[in-house]
Every structure is written in C-alpha cells, then in structure tokens.
Structure 1
C-alpha cells in the first residue's frame, strides 16, 4: 500500500530529511539529526510538519451538548477563541483518542485528532451523533505546521500583523495572515513542552509558508525530536500511554476527565468507578539506574521477579542526558522512589520511579 503524504512531502528531500513509514504516512524522522533538532527546540526554535494530524469540524446548534456527551473534559467551559485538551472514551473507560478541541466564534468546534485514528474517530463520532450536528472531516484540506521553542514568538512576529503576545496558551486566532498566507488559524499550543504555535493552513498554501519560515533559518525538525521532546515533558502518545485498554486516568491525565459532568459522557461511569475504588495500575516516570534504555513493551519486574507492568515509552533524554521512560505498573509500585527492574533483552536493569514531568520549561507567558 502506498504511503500517505502531506502537502510538504516534496520539501523533505530538499532539506535532506530521512523519511520513514509512520502509521502509513511518509514522514521525516529527522533532517540534520535528532539531537540537534531536540536542542534547537529547547534553546531556540524548531519547525515541524505535522500535517498528518486529522481535523474534524463539528457544527450545528447541538454541537456543544453533543461534544460534551462525547468528550471527557467539559466543553461548556470553552469560550470562543480558546482550546482544550481532552479524550474520547469507550463505555468501559478505555481511550478512543486524545485530542484538542477548539471553539470558534460562530459556535462551531474544530477537533484535532491523531493521524492513525482519523477513520476510527470519525466513525465513532458519527455513530454517536444526536440532534442538530454536522460532522465534516477537513483533514485533507488542512495542513499543520508547528513552530516550537522559546524564541518562537520573536521569530514569527515579524511575519504577521497579529499581536502574538496577546495570544495566551491554549488560545487561538481564527484567521491570521502570516508571511502573505491568509486564513491561518494560529494557536498557542504544541507537543514539545515549550512555548510555541501551531499553524493550521489551507493545504494549498502550506508549501509557501513552510518555505518562508525555512528562509528565516529556523531549524527543520522531524518526528524523532518530536518524540523525545514530548516524552521529557511527559505528554502521552496514543497507542503507547493511551490505548483502547488504557484509560486516561491510568495514563495520568485525570485533569482532562470531569467525572462529575451532567449529563454523562461516554465512559463516565467506568472512569468514576476507577477514581472511587482506586486505580489498579498507574503510569509512572522512570529513570534507569543500570545501563540500558527502556523501550516500549519491555516488561517491568518486581524485585522478586514478578511481572508488574510494562514500559509504554522510553528514550535517552537529550536534555537530562540519561535514560528515561514512562511505564504502566501495578499501583502498589507507583510511589516515587520505588525501585524495580526493566527486562532489557533478557537481562534485568534496575530503575526507579521519579517525579514527572522530567523537564519543565520556565514560563514567561
């Protein structure tokens, strides 16, 4: 099967990108190198093509109550021009997807979903449609660029008349003009743990805007750095920290779950029960005490050798210069300072539970 391509695919080769198959998409894992790109975002800024992400428009007079039935967070708290992180769940509490929801001035909503889940999510949304609601998958018409890093604002400001300092975190401007490209939805959000912006661009304008930003000398970044950055910031990845069998509470993002919502959202009863009875498993941050990098799927063993969980994500942290990971473990072993073993290629390597996020930026905005 031929890999899907974003509107920026032809730009990758011009900049020496190494392209991989990522969930059926041909995407750059790196341009100059993961370490260099990671450090660029932490200290300066970096530009990502994340146009593989899905966008779904929800319109109609019943849009808000419909979404509040579908999503775990409280959409009613959103004002026009603001965004919210949330999840969709199955009745049993497992996760359909995690996503961002944006409320627009006309009362409609834009949902930004994970690329591998687009078809599944849209089907799920359509199955549960009620009232005056219209769902439109606009993924193919939308490209998404992410400019991330402490210098993102000062680099982008000369290219737009929009006052970027006025856009607070998790807020957005519906229609900005950037470097001559109009109708850009400009959002102060991201997936790196740094300040920055996500630029939702008409697909036909993506190449010209990408080229203009690249002309500014902003380092181009691939999925490799995106993954190490998000892991240091303890941001979950669907398919690893969140799955059909891992609830948002187990993944440690309970802030996005409002179990007292009325009327109920799908999965609310199961998640409320998890909270009331106590979680049997929890996602924890780990650092390796012995040599080795914890990789997704590696088993976690107690000091007695009993299986107590597994690694969901792991890497060698470029910022901390040590191996780190996230692991879903038996709740009895989730306390900070608890030690256990990661089974790495048949050998046991000691690890310890640590506080997360592993990295937290100094916030100026």
Structure 2
C-alpha cells in the first residue's frame, strides 16, 4: 500500500484508515456526520493525494488531448479547467477526469486513484504521434482540498492569490506556506472550495497552514466517508459506481462533455456517434425515499409490477436532507421526475421517487 505524504498528520489527528485503490487513506477522524456537516456549514479539509496527476507538455499537447479524450481541450483557455472523460474504442468510460491548462503548451490531467496508471498509460500511447511529453507526477504531488462556505476566508488568510477573481474551474499558480502551489477553484462536494496541488515534500507545511487558518472558521479534517455522502448529495458521479467501462457518457448524463464538433478525430468517436444516434437503454436518475433505510450500491430497482427495472449505483441516508437518496440506472421511460418506483432493500420493496439531480445545491 502507498501512504500519503500526510500520513503522519492523519495519525496525529486520530484518523481511522482504509485501503483505497492501493493507498492507505483517512476514512474518518471521528464522526463522519460531523465532518459532513462541517463542510456544508463551515469547511472541511481533505487529503486527496491518492489522485493521479499526469502532465502533458509540448507544442502539440492540446492536440494530443483532443485525440485522447472526449473533450475539446485545445480550446480551453490558460488558467481554466475542463471536466471530461477518456473512453475506449467502444465508447466505454475508462475514467472521468479534470484537465487544467496551465500554459500554452502545458496541461495537467487529474485522474481517479484507481485508474491513474491506466490513464497515464493510455495517454502515453495515444500521444505517440504528437509533439508532446507525458509525465506521471502522481507520487511527486500532494493534493489538499478545502471545501465549504468558509473556504474563501480560510484560503485567503494564507494565500496571496486574488480569490475573488478566480472563477469556478479556474486555477492559478501562487504561494502557500512559503511554497509554490497550484490553486484551483474545484471540488467534489457541491460547495465552493479550493484544491491545492503541492510538491509532496511540502504537503505537511501546506496542510498545517490551512488547518491553522481554518480554526477560527470551524474547519474540520474530513475523510473519504463524508466525501462520498457529500458528492452523492451533489449528484456527482463516482467511477466504479455510476461510471465504468460498460457505461457510456450518454447513459450517465454526460453527453455534454463529448465534443463531436472539434476538428480532429478522437478515440471512441465512431462508437459514441452510434450510441448517441441510437439512444440509450438506461439512464442515470436520482431517487428519493422516506424513512431511514437507504438503498445501497447494487440493490435492484423494481417497478410497480415488482419486476426489476434497474440497479442502484450509489445510495445513503442524506445527512443534509434527512432522508434516503440514491442514484440508479433505469429505462428512459421510467426516468421522468415524479415516477414512483421501489428499491429491494434486503427483501423489502421500499418506495422511492425519481427526482431531479442534484439532490442538494448550495445557496450561495
């Protein structure tokens, strides 16, 4: 197992650890409910150093990414980021990614931990005919996120960047705790917040500076457990649950990220055009229930006649909303908001209703 450069910090804070995608990472520090609420009401600080960071540099880096990924990355402005997917030739999703354009010839691709080696390998292969270099920086990079309504106050106290001028999905090089970092206004919680990319040897100093700045604002260390309920409330897909090689972007509601209008060919284009034109057999929806029993990953979704019509991909009792929520794949005919369905929860058909995603939107 690989340990985060912040592992000793998490030990000091009393974290409970879990093995995740080959990494030993903090699951929670105490109450995951308290951590979840801190992010919604004040702020939480997360260690995301298990994520993969792959750099592309060179005069054809943008063209290489246009070919390798579904998005039009050469059209992204310097200082901005784009959410996209990497597909195989059959149109299946290999991973969902965030791509930052750091300079005219410089991009940073951020991959999920479980897929980082695969993505790095695919990018190397797909960039082979372009004037670009691909470098996997994952182990050299630490990633720390501060998320929540007080994130601006906390990061602004220790960072000279003009946060008011930094848009959502924007990034800027800056300094924090005396070190060069990349600051991005991105996140996976549904709240405003920032992600800080730092060199691994500087991770502890950056974390300590942010944690100290956050103490007057109610900042709490937060683990992977509450990160999952936060992203579920925000209706954000998790690779391995809502996305995998057997799903395509149109089924997952991500057709918008597939850019057929970019000038060049890209891997999976023909298959994705066919899937777009054919239409989907299943589509991702939100489900809301009542009571305290929550649908979980893999539970069957059943129709009014009791027959199985779909599968839950993620589910939990929502700490913010106070009732069960889930995402699931169902036939398009059953995807309209207000449709009454049920989830088989350990042999009991528990009523749910199709609702519009996301379940939660921040007020400001």
TM-score in terms of structure 1 length: 0.95
TM alignment of 1:349-364, pairs within 5 A: 349-363=350-364
Structure 1 residue 306 displacement after superposition: 2.1
Distance across 1 between alignment mates of 2:268 and 2:232: 27
Superposed CA RMSD: 1.3
Aligned with 2:109 (options 106, 111, 115): 111
Shift in Å at residue 262 of structure 1?
2.6
Bigger mean CA deviation after superposition, 208-217 or 316-325: 208-217
- Structure 2 Cα separation of the partners of residues 344 and 64 of structure 1: 47
Tell me what 2:211 maps to. Answer: 214
* C-alpha contact 2:284 2:329 (8 A) present in aligned 1: yes
The CA deviation string for residues 279-320 of structure 1, in whole angstroms up to 9 with x for no partner, is: 111000001246521100111122222221100000111110
Match of 2:103, SS? coil
Moved more, 55-64 or 136-145: 55-64
Cα drift, residue 122 of structure 1: 1.4
2:282 maps to 1:281: yes
- DSSP 3-state at the match of 1:104: strand
Tell me which residue corresponds to 1:140: 139
Distance 2:284 2:204 in 1: 39
Instruction: Give the match's secondary structure for 1:58.
Output: strand
Match of 1:234 in 2: 235
C-alpha deviation, 1:205, in angstroms: 0.2
TM score, norm. by length of structure 2 = 0.95
The aligned residue for residue 308 of structure 1 is: 309
Contact 1:290 1:351 in 2 (8 A): no
1:323 aligned residue: 324
Segments of 5+ residues of structure 1 without an aligned counterpart are none
Alpha-carbon separation, structure 2, partners of 1:291 and 1:315: 9
Deviation per CA, 1:235-260: give whole Å up to 9, x if none: 10011111000112111122212233
CA contact (8 A) 1:80 1:107 kept: no
Query: Are the counterparts in 1 of residues 82 and 169 from structure 2 also a CA contact under 8 Å?
Result: yes
Displaced runs of 4+ in structure 1, greater than 6 A? none
Deviation larger for 46-55 or 262-271 = 262-271
Q: 193, 203, 208: which is aligned to 1:196? A: 193
Deviates more, 1:218-227 or 1:337-346: 337-346
What is the rounded CA distance, in whole Å, between the counterparts of 1:324 and 1:113 in structure 2?
Answer: 26
Please give the alpha-carbon distance, in whole angstroms, between the structure 2 residues aligned to 1:193 and 1:36. 17
Q: 2:76 — aligned with what?
A: 78
CA deviation map 1:85-125 (0-9, x unaligned) = 00001121110100110111242100000001111111212
